[in-house]
Amino acid sequence: MSERDVKRLLASVPVDDDAEERAWELVRSVYAEHEPTVVHRRRQSIVLVAAGAAILAAALSPPGRAVVNAVRRSIGIERATPALFRLPAAGRLLVSGPGGAWVVAADGSKRLLGAYPQASWSPHGLYVVGAQTNELATMEPNGKIHWTLARPQIRFPRWSGTHTDTRIAYLTTSRLHVVGGDGRGDIDAEGLPAAALVAPAWRPSATDLHVLAYVTTRGRVTVLNPDRGNVWWVSDGFSGPRALVWSPNGTRLVLAARDKVVVFDGRTGRARTVHVAGVRAIAFAPDGRLALLRGHGVLLLDGSQVRTLFTAPGLFAGLAWSPDGRWLLTGLPGADQWVFLQTAGAHRVLAVSHIRSQFRGAATLDGWIG
C-alpha cells in the first residue's frame, strides 16, 4: 500500500461528534499510556480512527504493518534518532510501564529495576518506589530491594520528605495510604473521603512537616498533614480531575480538571481558575514554570496566559523537566517516539524512535532527577 493510498484511506474515514473519544479509547488500550486529549476535532478524529485501524491490521498482515509505518510517519517527528543514545542534559530518568521500571543514565545506558509498571523517585533520587498490582517495593537505583509491602490494587506510589524522614503515599482501590520510608507505620486513611484515580502529591519541604494533597472521588482537593491527621483545607468539587502537582517552592498547588486548570494557594486553598480545557498532564520546572499537555500541544502557563511551546500531528503523553530546567521531555505514543524540547537558547527539538522496543513496551515518564 503506497503512502498515497494511506492518505486516501485517511480522507475516507467518516467523522462524527463522538469519533475522537471512541478512537482514543482504542489507541490508549493498545499503547497502555495515560490518556492525552483532543484539540482539532476533524483532523484528530481522522488520524486516530485510521491509527486504531492500522494497529489492528498490523497484527494480521505485512500490508497492515506498512499502514502502521505510514501512520507513524504522519504523526511523528522527522529525522528522529533510532535509539536513545544519550539524554540532552545531565541527570537520570525514571520510566515505567508493562515492561517494568527502568533507570536511564545521562549516557543513555538503561537498567531494569524489576517488573513494576508504576514507579517514582525518592525525594533526593537515592531510592525508587515501585508498585505491582498487590505489592509496594522500595529499592536502590541499581535494583537492590530494601523492603516490600503487600496491599491490594496499589496505584500511584509517591515518595517525599527529607534525607532522614520520608513518607510514601499510595492508593489501594479508592483508599489513601501513607507509610514511612522504612516500610513501617502504614496508615489507612479510612476516615477520609475516597480518593479519585489521580496521583497524590506531596508538598516540597525542607522540614519534617509532611503535607499531602489528594483528590476525592467528588473532585475535591484535600490538603492534610497525615502524621497529625489534621486537614488543612478542602476545595470545591471539580469535574474530571486528571493531575495534581505542587510548585517547587510549595506555595502553589495546581489541579488539571476536564475544562480548566485550577491554581490554589497552598496554605489557604484560595483558588484561581485558568480556562484551558482538555489538559491531561502538568509539570513544574525547577524555576517554577508550569508546562501543560493538551492533545497535540505542549503549553506553558504564565500567570493566566497560556502560550504554545510545541505542537505535532500526534497526541502527546507524559511530561518531565530536566534537572536544569532547560529541556522538557514528552512522548508521542502513536509514533513510538520521545520528544525533547529545549525551552531556552536555540529551542531545539530532538526526537527518539523505537521507545517500546527499548523499554519492552509503553514507557511512562516518572521523573528526571539530578
| Mean of pLDDT over the chain | 85
**Nearest-angstrom CA–CA distance, 330 and 326:** 14
CA dist list (Å): 115 to 87, 96, 157, 226, 359: 24, 9, 15, 29, 11
pLDDT at 42: 38
Helix (H, G, I), strand (E, B) or coil at 90: coil
Give the model confidence (pLDDT) of 158-208 as tens digits.
Answer: 999 998 899 999 999 999 999 999 999 999 998 999 999 999 999 998 788
When pLDDT is cut at 50, 70 and 90, the band that residue 74 belongs to is low
Percent of the chain with pLDDT over 70: 80
Q: What is the DSSP letter of 309?
A: E
**Nearest-angstrom CA–CA distance, 130 and 113:** 9
When pLDDT is cut at 50, 70 and 90, the band that residue 73 belongs to is low
When pLDDT is cut at 50, 70 and 90, the band that residue 49 belongs to is very low
**pLDDT exceeds 60 at position 53:** no
Which single residue is written with the C-alpha cell 475544562? Answer: 259
pLDDT at 75: 79
**pLDDT exceeds 60 at position 110:** yes
Q: What are phi and psi of 115, to 5 degrees?
A: -85, 65
Which single residue is written with the C-alpha cell 530546567? Answer: 325
Percent of the chain with pLDDT over 90: 74
Question: How many whole angstroms from its chain centre is CA 22?
Answer: 21
**Nearest-angstrom CA–CA distance, 259 and 281:** 13
pLDDT at 84: 98
pLDDT at 207: 80
Residues comprising the chain, all counted = 370
What grid cell was written down for 212?
Answer: 499531602
Task: Report the DSSP beta bridge partners of residue 71.
Answer: none
**pLDDT exceeds 90 at position 4:** no
Q: What is the DSSP letter of 336?
A: T
Of 57, 66, 29, 110, residue with least CA distance to 357? 110
**Nearest-angstrom CA–CA distance, 233 and 252:** 13
